[in-house]
Chain A
Amino acid sequence: MQPPADSQTRSAPNSRSPKALLAAAKTNVELWANLLIIGWALGFMLWKGVGFAIAIGTVFAIWAILTVSLNLVVGYTGLLSVGHVGFFGIGAYTVAILTSRAEYEQLRTEAIPTFGWPFFAALPVGVLLAGVIAVAVGVVFNRFRDDIYVLVSFGFAIISFNVFLNWRGLTRGAFGIHEIPRPAVGGWVLDGELEFLVFALAILGVIVLLSWLIVTSSFGRVLTAIREDEQAIAVFGYQTTHYKLAVWTISAMMAGLAGGLFAGWTSFVDPNSFILLESMLLVAIVILGGLATIWGSLLGAMAFVLLEEGMRFLPFLPAIHVGQARLVVLGILLVLLMVFRPQGLVGRYKL
């Protein structure tokens, strides 16, 4: 297929004239994707007002943390993991269990011990727990590749979902955990939507910065080399298993962070947020946005959130079907992308 359009323009030295730039821009898919999604976002914001942006901004931030972190594994390292939602769930449940203040009546529902920790004490624990589990899982998964890797990562998502659903003494199973307090620093509680949005965007910024540091460092270049040819880089003396384990763990910890944020934002978690379908959705968004670019993941998450919100206003679609209809659209988009543009909208790497 055609090479990324910016390399086209760069390769032609006399393409500085406005006419040539315009002609190059017309066939530039990346440019169009960027314009479309950002324009869509701005248009939506103008139409619906700032309150709308605040409402979906946090959703976007949580999805974006997940997609950016998954892109480290899928895009940069080339390991197609479909189990990321497991770490998201671990982070969310750790924060939920440690911070929840709900008093459960024995006998009527499943009761679990309440700890009542502050949010900012529970969040690092959730992130660390996700990391520890990621190390244990990654050691086992490191020996698999390609199709089998996909299968075992499906397995991780299913096992974690079953643990959330069936370990009732810890997670209350299908009842879910209620009354998770909003994050608070000293006396200042982040209970407003805007405050939480700023907090979530700040965390997203830290994650993006961290990912950017990772992928531009020598560590990131080794990851890219593993993706392109693992044996070749192993010949140069790099312990590829260590690198894969490291990036897997970092990515899992970021997902755990997103999970903690999610628990603090919704103040209620139950296993239905961590089903396998969500994980497949996540992979779809990462591929939609673009493999091996951080900006692509942000764009993909934004497109996904806008897709869902945009479909709410379709007149012929009943409101209860919006959640499923976005999956239909996303699935069809994924097929079309795989046919016409396997690197995603702004991606740098083809599967």
Chain B
Amino acid sequence: MIAQRPSLNSLLAIVLAGAAAAYVLWKISQSPEQAVQFAFNGLSVGAVYALLAVGFTLVYSTVWYFDLYYGAAAALGAYGVFYLRSQETLGGLYAVNSIFVNVLFAAATAGVVAWALYESQYPRFRAHVDRPILLGAGGVLAPGAGIYMGFVLTNPKDLHIFLSPAIAVGCAALVTWILYQAYRSVLTGPVLRGLLVVTGAAATVLGVYCAYLIANTPEAKLYLSWGVSCFLAGVVGLTLYRGLYVYMRARSQSPLIMLVASLGILLAMTALTSIVFESTPRPLPEPLGNAPWTFAGATIKGFNVFTIGVAVVGFLFLLFLLKRTAFGKAVRAIGDDEEVSKVVGINTTTVIAVVFFIGAVYAAMAGILSGHDTAIQPRMGLLLLLKGWIASVVGGIGNLNGAIVGGFVLGMIEQFGIWDLAGEWRDVISFVLLILFLSFWPKGLLPRK
């Protein structure tokens, strides 16, 4: 009996998969145009799931426990855009601007900036500069960043103008840093310094010009608000890890404790969202490219193509980060064995905190994209979290390639599954798919090596 079981399982799996494939092929032969339409829908839904699954896999394969805040981050991202843009684009119908929210996020930003300065710059300057001066500089910069964030959140109407100084500084710093990295390998001494000064000046001019352009483009506000709300979701994720999970891990190693604690966070954040924004579904403002294109007898929105692009670029970026950079090497090492990577000198706390930041940004982006496609409601976070979780199980848990494949597969199967049913059975289909996969193919499509 025990020996028979695997073969019976695989036989059943083959029969099931064959039946499903035959059914889909039969349906496609019935009406190919509709099949193309469903494929388009599946791709655009799958892109959101893929983005979720990729970020989820990054976090999960590093720490190996489930962090349900990930779902709250998706809702936070979508509601961040709503918060920043509701005052004008939705006709000011549901304008929300609460001083508590602004202060809360300003404080979180200040804390994270202080943490980032301490982790990255403090060791470098410690030997050369006096402690009081360093503390004073940090004491100005971190609260300054917090106040700036609070100011931006208080005045979302002129987001593009208030954000433009930050964009100028960021642009200049980024260009200078890239060129510095490039010069450093070939040049040394005064030549390097001289070139760097020239580059810095040019980059500053470039940055100011960029900022000027953006300050004169009110349409940029929507996309700037994407950036702000993704950043805020990441900030909250980082704060939760550094401020809470680190201490919980020190007390207990059980993954279920982490799961239940993050369940509490998800519960509290969902309820807070409902209190601030009410629990009725709300629309997000229209993004560019919302007009449908006709292609091969079926329609797809330009925005959905953009979503697919975001998913693919997000995946490629993460692949690059993990496979080609020192940071990625550290992340993979921690995923393999956290204790040993601590022993060999990786600052595991910092690396995992950054991973939580990136993961939350991915979740927030997915939440925003799906929110633009449908509507947003406080419960969406949990559903998106579950979809990302399912997609990563379908793809092969802990494998980044599997995550993107799983996301698109889940999206396609969901869409083809509701061909004969009504659209509201979508969630049931994905969970039935999950249970089928777990029963017959528990390692997923692309198992982690």
Contact = CB atoms under 8 A, between A and B. Distances in A.
A140 interface: yes
Contacts of B259: 80, 147, 150
Contacts of A273: none
A152 B271 contact: no
B275 A342 contact: no
Nearest to B267: A331
Given A140-B439, A151-B386, A158-B386, A339 B248 contact: yes
Interface stretch (A23-31, A92-100, A275-283): A275-283
B268 A80 contact: no
A146 B263 contact: no
Nearest to B426: A162
Contacts of A143: 438-439
A338 B270 CA distance: 19
A155 B435 contact: yes
Contact of B251 (A331, A339, A351): A339
Contacts of A339: 244, 247-248, 251, 261
Nearest to B256: A351
A319 interface: no
Contacts of B281: none
B342 to A, nearest CB: 22
Interface of B: 65-66, 244, 247-248, 251-252, 254-261, 263-272, 274-275, 279, 379, 382-383, 386, 389-390, 393, 422, 424-425, 427-428, 431-432, 434-435, 438-439
Contact of A281 (B260, B267, B424): B267
B275 A332 contact: no
Given A327-B267, A333-B264, 15 more contacts: A1-B251, A80-B259, A144-B438, A151-B389, A155-B434, A155-B435, A163-B428, A277-B267, A324-B274, A330-B264, A330-B267, A330-B268, A334-B263, A339-B247, A342-B252
A327 B263 CA distance: 11
Contacts, number: 133
Given A284-B263, A338-B264, A339-B248, A351 B254 contact: yes
Interface in A320-345: 321, 324-325, 327-328, 330-335, 338-339, 342
A331 B271 CA distance: 9
20 contacts: A150-B66, A151-B393, A155-B434, A158-B428, A162-B428, A275-B379, A276-B379, A283-B263, A284-B264, A284-B267, A321-B275, A324-B271, A324-B279, A325-B271, A328-B275, A331-B263, A331-B266, A338-B248, A338-B257, A338-B260
Nearest to A160: B428
A245 interface: no
A277 B270 contact: yes
Interface in A92-150: 140, 143-144, 146-148, 150
A159 interface: yes
A217 interface: no
Interface in A137-182: 140, 143-144, 146-148, 150-152, 154-156, 158-159, 162-163, 165-166
A351 B257 contact: yes
A152 B267 contact: no
Contacts of A155: 386, 431, 434-435
A159 B428 contact: yes
A287 interface: yes
Interface of A: 1, 80, 140, 143-144, 146-148, 150-152, 154-156, 158-159, 162-163, 165-166, 275-277, 280-281, 283-284, 287, 321, 324-325, 327-328, 330-335, 338-339, 342, 350-351
A151 B248 CA distance: 22
B427 A334 contact: no
B280 to A, nearest CB: 12
Contacts of A325: 271, 275
B425 A166 contact: yes
Nearest to A329: B268
A332 B264 contact: yes
Nearest to B271: A327
A287 B275 contact: no
Given A333-B264, A351-B257, A166 B275 contact: no
A152 B261 contact: no
Q: Which of B248, B260, B379, B428 has most A Cβ within 10 Å? A: B260
B79 to A, nearest CB: 14
Nearest to B269: A331
B443 to A, nearest CB: 12
A140 B437 CA distance: 12
B264 A331 contact: yes
Contacts of A144: 438
A2 B254 CA distance: 17
A147 B66 contact: yes
A328 B272 contact: yes
6 residue pairs, one from A and one from B, having the closest CB atoms: A331-B268, A334-B264, A327-B271, A155-B431, A331-B267, A338-B261
Nearest to A288: B264
A90 B37 CA distance: 36
B119 to A, nearest CB: 23
Contact of B268 (A152, A166, A327): A327
A80 B264 CA distance: 14
Nearest to B251: A339
Given A151-B393, A328-B272, A351-B256, A335 B386 contact: no
Given A155-B434, A284-B267, A334-B267, A342 B427 contact: no
B83 to A, nearest CB: 17
A335 B268 CA distance: 10
A328 B270 CA distance: 8
Contacts of A146: 255-256
